[in-house]
Structure 1
Amino acid sequence: MRHPKRIVHSGQGSLRRRFTGWAALFALALFAACSNPPSNRLEAVQQDGELRVVTYASATTYYDNPEGPAGFEYDLAKEFASELGVELRVVVVDRFADVLPRLLAGDADFAAAGLGDTETRRALVRFTPPYQETRQQVVYRLGSPRPAQVPDLLGREIEVHAGTSYIERLNELKRTYPDLRWIESHDRQTEELLQMVWEGLLDLTIADSNIVAVNSQFFPELQVAFSLPGTERLAWAFPRSDDTSLYDAASKFIENRRASGLLAQLIERYYGAASRSNFINLTVYRLRIQNRLPLYQQQLEESARRHGLDWRLLAALAYQESYWDPGVVSPTGVRGFMMLTRDTAGQLGVKNREDVAESIDGGARYLKQMLDRIPARITGPDRLWFALAAYNVGFYHVEDARILTQRQGGDPDKWTDVKERLPLLANPRWYTTVKYGYARGIEPVRYVNRVRTYYDVLVKIDEEKRAEQTTEAIKLQAPAI
């Protein structure tokens, strides 16, 4: 009998050959186990260790702040990924209208972008149970004619973002009101159109109530004229497929979050404060100067003196941040008297953000750092306004706005020029051309304006108080007649 040829390496004994054989068998078994294809989409995601979500940058979906990524949709999607034991990868598109096409092209596992569950979209994708219900609202600027009902929209200038469910609703209304007209904008998103209404450049627009609530705190003159009939159910969208494993997991996740109350907490975190915001109330501010400021004035004065700042400026900054309430917490988890982010507090050596003295001193040091980073050639009030804007939105976003200002022929060293470009950082036409990308650029503009108002009022009250004290002192020193 002829035996098959066996290859033996020189110097290898029988035991070594046997061990090598076992190792090979073990490696083969391990490879087979690891290379078993997943039986469904859920297993595939868990095996890959990554969940992909497509969204777009806006104040209600996804954005970057000094503490990192944030936004209602981002936080909810991140929780879902965490429950699956995988990392979340965010695919950001420039336009809302691109969300579903990118999902259907296979670029993401699901879409989370404030999508309304409509009949038209339902033919393309499968929606989870809703996580929020909103109403579509007609928005106008305070002081302009207010439409009270749908017939009042006839003959008015209306512009809405293309690809949104607002178009579907308007088409439904057009069946009853054939003369209803509107413009579909492909370049301007809903938030930009709201800003145009606020600036008086556009008569009317339509937006979901949650978007209106968030933006009203930045554009207080925006007013809701009326809500269109019916409600809109916001939900996540998944590609239509016979494999519903990942969709089922997401639906169960949302239902569980609703039942536990955690979904309501997230909604309150992002929309509660915004829905209650209003104009700067200087009457309330003056009252708080009397009954709250004295509790913290000494600490403000000490920290300001230590870092070479005007204590009244530091107080105005603190009021804008927390209304002099050391227990306040922002929608993104920023907390304390000066509302320092966790990362910023760590960099400043602030161990307890809820300790008033630590928070004030940390805020003073951070403002001083921003002032020191502004180019030396920028002096006077401009230097301060840039520093305040950087305190709010981050130094590098302010630098991006200065670059845009220079490109457009403005003076990058003048706040009056740069504040006109900061809002452009919310427009993909512009933020994609700068290094640090999307930012709620209108927010630091309003932030600086409010701090300046609070500062001016406080200076006036403080100087009046000092004048009264000087007068009283003179009276006490004057000899009796």
Structure 2
Amino acid sequence: MLHLSKRLRAALTVLLALATLLCPAELLPRLGDGLDSIRQRDFLQVATRNGPITFYQGGHGPTGFEYELVRRFAHSLGVSLAVKNDSRIMDVLDDVRRGTADLGAAALTLDQSRSGLRYSQPILTLQPLVVYRRGLPPVRTLDDLLNLRIGVIAGSGSAAALRAQQQNLPGLGWREADDLAIADLLEMVERDDLDAAVIYTHQFKLNRLFFPNVERGFALGKPLTLVWAFSASQPLALQQAANRFIAEQRSSGDLDELIGRYFGHDDYLEYVGARLFIRHVRNRLPRFVPYFKEAARDTGFDWRLLAALGYQESHWRPDATSPTGVRGLMMLTRPTADEIGIDNRLDPRQSVDGGARYLLHVRDRLDASIPEPDRTWMALAAYNVGLGHLFDARTIAAQRGGDPDRWIDVREALPLLQQREWYSQANHGYARGGEPVIYVRNVRRYYEILKYVNRSQQQFDQLGQRTLDSDTMTPLEIVTPLM
């Protein structure tokens, strides 16, 4: 049997993907002939659409919730993945119907009125959500939508939700286009080209920090079901395999983990904090990114984690000084600076270098039994409260029947260092143990935001460069009221 190298196999996958993009659909082989044909060609062809729920190019290559899930599915079949990124939902569905894609994964919702398609079992619940521009009167009910300029992506479940509500409110009208991205809609609301839009709650979670003038309105209609689409004219084998895979992902907890990774951070920051953070990401952070990346190369930390730590410490102010004498972008004490050889704490490059090396020093002193990422979270806590108090908290966690190597248990123990019952028997005495818990939570939130910003940078760079006017923006088709 011929075995291809990983490099050659990857190259073939790219060539196959390019062929799918460049060849006319009628010249492509029928792809949906069952699992045998997929395994023979050695790749799963998926039609998708660019978006935060589905598929986009991040800082380290393709990513997205559905992309990650369908990649796992392809792996379970023992084949590679080829992705065709369509511009419209209807293009995705047409690819599936024609058999030029094995399945469609593009934030599709269960819709039995679509002909020629079958669907997988439910993957995720999608709730259509009305969002509107901050400063308008609150939009809380369906009646509040009358006379507003509302935008939606044509062919989406959100558009279907609007059509369903139009039966109850005939005066409801809106504007739609089929090749808009979610960021386009939100930017149009932000810039007063629209008053409101209907998207999914998950999409708002992923994008709201970048559009602080867009406000959450109300849930529109019943929740919808995210599914994968298959051709009704093809054998059931692939659909059945997908259903087994989804069920296994759900029962193992892997699906919940993936959902949490992409959508589980809606409570990042309250509005003012979110707006301030994003402004500082744009205006302050770029100056210091080279220092964070240099320190990351020297210490092995993700530069975005170091940047998140720096924001928590000083809001990226190199001249920050506290009443207790800690100074600089990473807020180093004089003894710490002396210990790691930093002579000017107000020099941002030295401060970042010193803070990163001190964090590494703290992490290296933790027990080797602590796995990642718990080890890093505990190192951050010790950066804030001191290693001695962290060791005490680990002891208390064990005494209470928890695992001292797990951050979730140590996190519960740290606040107990404020109670006499516990700190009186601790080696290092009293500590304001609730503070490092909040500290680590904040750093992790900033870190998650920075990771999202980084992997979506191309999307937002393009968004920032585009002028939203009639010459460059896709025209919105007006859906008129029924009365």
Per-residue CA deviations over 1:418-451 (Å, capped at 9, x if unaligned) read x841799xxx989xxxxxxxxxxxxxxxxxxxxx
- Return closer, same or farther for 1:110/1:244 CA change in 2, 3 Å cut-off: same
Per-residue CA deviations over 1:89-119 (Å, capped at 9, x if unaligned) read 0111123342112222322100111111123
- Give the counterpart letter for 2:465 in structure 1: R
Pick the aligned partner of 2:51 from 25, 50, 58: 58
Contact 1:138/1:228 (8 A) holds in 2: yes
Cross-structure match for 1:421:
465
Cross-structure match for 1:377:
none
- Return closer, same or farther for 1:177/1:314 CA change in 2, 3 Å cut-off: same
Q: CA deviation at 1:277?
A: 4.4
| Greater RCO, CA 8 A, separation 6+ | 2
Pick the aligned partner of 2:109 from 116, 120, 133: 116
2:144 matches 1:100:
no
- 1:57-456 equivalent positions in 2, closer than 5 A: 57-121=50-114, 123-241=115-233, 243-274=235-266, 276-279=268-271, 281=273, 288-289=313-314, 293-294=330-331, 310-311=348-349, 314=352, 393=454, 420-421=464-465
- Whole-angstrom CA distance in 1 between matches of 2:61 and 2:338: 28
- Whole-angstrom CA distance in 2 between matches of 1:213 and 1:300: 43
Q: CA deviation at 1:147?
A: 1.5
SS in 2 for 1:273: coil
Q: CA deviation at 1:276?
A: 3.5
Contact 1:301/1:311 (8 A) holds in 2: no
- Whole-angstrom CA distance in 2 between matches of 1:264 and 1:41: 28
Max radius of gyration: which structure?
A: 1
Q: CA deviation at 1:229?
A: 2.0
- Give the counterpart letter for 1:421 in structure 2: Q
Q: CA deviation at 1:55?
A: 0.4
Any gaps of 5 or more consecutive residues in structure 1?
Answer: 1-37, 319-324, 330-335, 338-388, 405-418, 431-481
- Return closer, same or farther for 1:303/1:184 CA change in 2, 3 Å cut-off: farther
Any gaps of 5 or more consecutive residues in structure 2?
Answer: 1-30, 278-308, 315-321, 357-362, 365-370, 374-378, 381-449, 475-483
Cross-structure match for 1:46:
39
**TM-score for both structures, normalised by structure 1:** 0.55
Contact 1:115/1:237 (8 A) holds in 2: yes
Per-residue CA deviations over 1:383-429 (Å, capped at 9, x if unaligned) read xxxxxx9x9759x959x96xx9xxxxxxxxxxxxxx841799xxx98
Runs (4+) of structure 1 exceeding 6 A deviation are 282-287, 299-306, 325-329
Contact 2:51/2:181 (8 A) holds in 1: no
SS in 2 for 1:176: coil
After superposition, the CA RMSD in angstroms is 4.5
- Whole-angstrom CA distance in 1 between matches of 2:68 and 2:86: 18
Q: CA deviation at 1:82?
A: 0.4
- Return closer, same or farther for 1:313/1:112 CA change in 2, 3 Å cut-off: farther
Cross-structure match for 1:376:
none
Q: CA deviation at 1:176?
A: 1.5
- Give the counterpart letter for 1:87 in structure 2: S
- Whole-angstrom CA distance in 1 between matches of 2:467 and 2:70: 27
Identity %: 30
Per-residue CA deviations over 1:359-403 (Å, capped at 9, x if unaligned) read xxxxxxxxxxxxxxxxxxxxxxxxxxxxxx9x9759x959x96xx
Contact 1:160/1:206 (8 A) holds in 2: yes
Contact 1:304/1:314 (8 A) holds in 2: no
Contact 1:63/1:70 (8 A) holds in 2: yes
- Give the counterpart letter for 2:157 in structure 1: S
Q: CA deviation at 1:261?
A: 0.8
- Give the counterpart letter for 1:112 in structure 2: A
